[in-house]
Amino acid sequence: MNIILFGPPGAGKGTQGELAAERLDLVRLSTGDLLREARTEGTDLGQKAQRYMDAGELVPDSVILGIVREVMEAQSHRAGFIFDGFPRTETQAAGLADMMDEVGTSLDAVVVLDVADETLVRRLAGRLSCAKCGVVYNRHFEPPREEGKCDVCGSALVQRADDREETVRRRLEVYREQTAPVLDWYEGAGVAIHHIAGDRPIDAVQADLTALLSA
Ligand code: AP5
């Protein structure tokens, strides 16, 4: 099974994708996480991506398609993928379709998490993540037991550089202008598109997502 988790920044793609991948034994492929890893490691790719990410702009399609191809080729796990934050342009959607054709597989569905803008801004402004193990928290909605410390490993929690208010606003604009139209592309391609109300507690959203993917 191959699924795209779609939605604006802060919709909960990472949170839901991680839970669903574990439950359904799928591989979660997050282009945002791959780019952040490359930045932390200081690779050429990470350095190239940094200025786009910090400005809330999209990293060029050729770079993104290159890293997705690498992960898909290296992945021996054949159960399937949950794509998180990819594709974000029509060129990326067409590139993914070609890669899937090459390996004789296809996309089963696009699942859109719908969340109101004011909630997105609040979620992103409150997001904290562990600098060491990557667990994600939220100051307002999912606080750690002890302020500023990871529940799992005790390391310091940090805010993502692109979660500053000004950058969040640009990311939302970029989503509307460049990424939302990808849904029309999938509609034209005849791929099933499902909407889930993402503006509810994490467990409720997860229950709907699991039911949908298990059906
Ligand atoms: P990326 O990392 O993909 O960021 P994003 O799409 O903007 O998504 P986020 O990670 O901000 O949000 P999310 O939907 O995953 O929400 P989350 O679960 O974390 O991309 C970052 C940048 O990399 C891009 O701007 C771009 O520059 C570049 N990039 C990446 N992919 C690219 C591509 N394909 N093409 C070009 N460029 C690319 O949740 C957010 C917060 O809300 C958390 O604190 C969480 O705890 C909380 N939360 C989640 N769900 C709930 C809930 N139901 N109730 C209450 N709180 C909740």
Q: What is the pLDDT tens value at each position of the chain, 215 positions in all?
A: 999 999 999 999 999 999 999 999 999 999 999 999 999 899 999 999 999 999 999 999 999 999 999 998 887 656 799 999 999 999 999 999 999 998 889 999 999 999 999 999 999 999 999 989 989 999 999 999 999 999 999 999 999 989 988 899 999 999 999 999 999 999 999 999 999 999 999 999 999 999 999 88
The token pair at 108 is 């089963």
- Could you give the residue numbers annotated as active site? 13, 88, 127, 160, 171
Q: How far is the CA of 169 from the centre of ligand 1 (A)?
A: 13
Its pTM stands at 0.94
Q: Which residue has the least CA distance to atom 39 on ligand 1?
A: 12
Nearest CA to ligand 1 atom 53: 202
Asked if 194 contacts 110 with a C-beta cutoff of 8 angstroms, the reply is: yes
Pocket of ligand 1 contains residue 205 by CB under 6 Å? yes
From ligand 1's centre to the CA of 104, what distance in Å?
30
User: 134: Cβ–Cβ under 8 A, 6 or more apart, which residues?
Assistant: 33
Ligand 1 pocket member 59 (CB < 6 A): yes
Report the pLDDT value the prediction gives residue 192, as an integer from 0 to 100: 97
Give me the DSSP letters along 189-207: TT-EEEEEE-SS-HHHHHH
Nearest residue (by CA) to ligand 1, atom 49, is 12
Say how many Å lie between the CA of residue 37 and the centre of ligand 1: 15
Other Cβ atoms less than 10 A from the Cβ of 162: the count is: 20
Residue 12, phi-psi category: left (phi > 0), alpha (psi -120 to 50), beta (remainder) = left
Residue type, 199: D
| pLDDT number for residue 76 | 63
* 150 to 71, 106, 136, 193: CA distances (angstroms): 28, 38, 9, 36
Shortest-distance Cα residue to atom 43 of ligand 1:
127
Q: Which of 6, 13, 15 to mutate to test the pocket of ligand 1 (most atoms within 8 A of CB)?
A: 15
- What is the distance in A from the centroid of ligand 1 to the CA of 205? 16
